[in-house]
Amino acid sequence: MFATPSAMKKSLQYDQQSCRLTLEGLPDLSAGQSGDVVGILTGWSLAWVGRPEELEGRRDHLQAILQVVLPYARLLLSGVPRRVGAAQDPAEIAPAADGRHTLLLRSSQPDVEPLELVLDDAELADLVRVLDRLRLDPRLQVDLPVPPVRPLRAREVQERTPLPRRLAGVVGGAAALALAAASAWLLPPPPAPQPVASPTPAAAGGAPVPPP
Amino acid sequence: MVMTAAAPAAASPAAEPTTAAAPARPLSRRGIERLDLLLLTVEALDYSGGEAMVLISDQLGFTELFPNRVELWKRRCHNPLRRNFRRGSLAPAETDALIRILCVMAERLYPFLHQLLSRSEPEDLTRERWDLFRARLSELVRERMNLRRSGVQRLLDPQAGAPQRRQLIQSLALVAGSGGVERMRASLMDADG
């Protein structure tokens, strides 16, 4: 007796306050996986509380979301939020004007408008948490690589300091130097050195010695 | 908002795998400042945060590093903003342990963090929660930090300190749980290389 694919179908669910991520798939029997794991991802869906949109897609789309959302969270943690993902990528996330975050998902099908989700900080944190749980779940044995997490370079972090504050040190130092240089002009000039006469015997106070 | 968390549940992050190695070099001065401020934020959200940290430290297997609350406090005093600043730096193993403790604490407090960050909560209630958090954080900062430091003064300022306080809460929400350990570690080592 062989198990049918529908009988082997497995579903993994990750819940947070504002969203629910559901993965569906099958164990990869050719890789010797048991029925408890998902080795072949057949689909996924992401539902939001209070929003009509439910995202669905294939593995590539989930991979694209992972590739942009987690690096974006990493940047946000360092206080330098900026766009992650390019115009031709299937997913893109960027800071919105009002402190929210715009997640843009582009369909692989032609003539389908991109889906835009505007998330507040709490919803973004929920999304990051479900993605974290997914990638750390031992029941999911699908290769979903994420970019390595690394410290930012000094140049990247400097962006979080406003330009006036960054320049304050330099301007302050230059002003202090100029003030010190200007105050040097106010000091009285030192007296000119007097020429020193070569000592003569008379000046030395001794009586001239007659020649022999 | 009830700002007292229950006794910590089993600390899962110790058992879960991480892909990044522990930091090989000590944290910079700025990194220690941030780490300690985040731990202080946890204490501002949870009145029993100090005791919970020791308990979680034991659960995560860090009893040798931090056998009691005083030892934990001594490590945190490497923060240059502290009133009782201790010279020296944190050993990489101590840094890693503090980051893991922080991420577990953030996970426990995640519902509170979510409430503070969510825009779907009633506005008045959110303002009240933020005021309560600011009052508690200011109290702890005045008690423990060097008030002559400009960074401390800015944090205490009701208006000027608001973005930094939000950044602290947002950071905790983004590192909650074992998935946040690598992110937190990398962020604390920014601009070190």
Residue B136 domain-assigned? yes
pLDDT beyond 70 at B159: yes
Here the CATH number for the domain that contains residue A127 is 2.30.31.10
Q: What is the C-alpha radius of gyration for chain B, rounded to an integer number of angstroms?
A: 16
Global ipTM? 0.88
Residue of B114, B150, B171, B185 for testing the chain A interface, max A β-carbons within 10 Å: B114
Please answer whether residues A127 and A100 qualify as being in contact, where contact means their C-beta atoms are separated by less than 8 angstroms: no
A188 within some domain? no
Q: Is a pLDDT exceeding 70 seen at residue B7? A: no
Confirm whether A67 is domain-assigned.
yes
Q: What is chain A's percent helix, strand, coil content, to nearest 5? A: 35, 20, 45
Residue B53 lies in a domain: yes
The reply to whether B8 falls in a domain is: no
Q: Token pair 């953030």 is at which residue? A: B106
Domain, as residue range, for B124 = 25-188
pLDDT > 60? residue B77? yes
Size of chain A, expressed as the number of residues it contains: 212
- Spatial separation of the C-alpha atoms in residues A73 and B168, rounded to whole Å: 14
Model pTM score:
0.82
**Within a domain: residue A196?**
no
Contact B184, B175 (CB under 8 A): yes
**The pLDDT of residue A61 is above 80:** yes
Residue B174: pLDDT over 70: yes
Q: Could you give the number of structural domains in chain B?
A: 1
Q: Is residue A124 part of a domain?
A: yes
Quote the strand ranges of chain A, DSSP E.
10-15, 19-26, 40-48, 54-57, 91-95, 101-105, 115-119
**Alpha carbon A56 to its chain's center:** 27
User: Distance from A8 to chain B by nearest Cα, in Å?
Assistant: 27
- How many structural domains compose chain A? 1
Distance from CA of B180 to the nearest CA of A (A): 8
Structural domain range at position A64: 5-141
Question: Tokens for A105?
Answer: 């998902």
Radius of gyration, CA atoms only, chain A: 37
B80 touches chain A (CB under 8 A): no
pLDDT at B153: 95
Does any domain span residue A98?
yes
CB contact under 8 A, A120 and B191: no
Q: Do A125 and B170 touch (CB under 8 A)?
A: yes
Q: Is residue B40 part of a domain?
A: yes
Does residue A177 lie in a domain region?
no
Q: What is the mean pLDDT of residues B112-136?
A: 96
**Which of A16, A126, A132 would you mutate first to test chain B, the one with the most B CBs within 10 A?**
A132
Task: Take residue B100 and report the two structure tokens written for it.
Answer: 């893991």
Tell whether B112 is covered by a domain.
yes
What residues of B are in contact with residue A154 (Cβ under 8 Å)? 191
Q: What is the pLDDT, as a whole number, of residue A181?
A: 85
Asked if pLDDT for residue B157 goes beyond 90, the answer is yes
b/e A166-180 (16+ beta carbons within 10 angstroms → b): eeeeeeeeeeeeeee
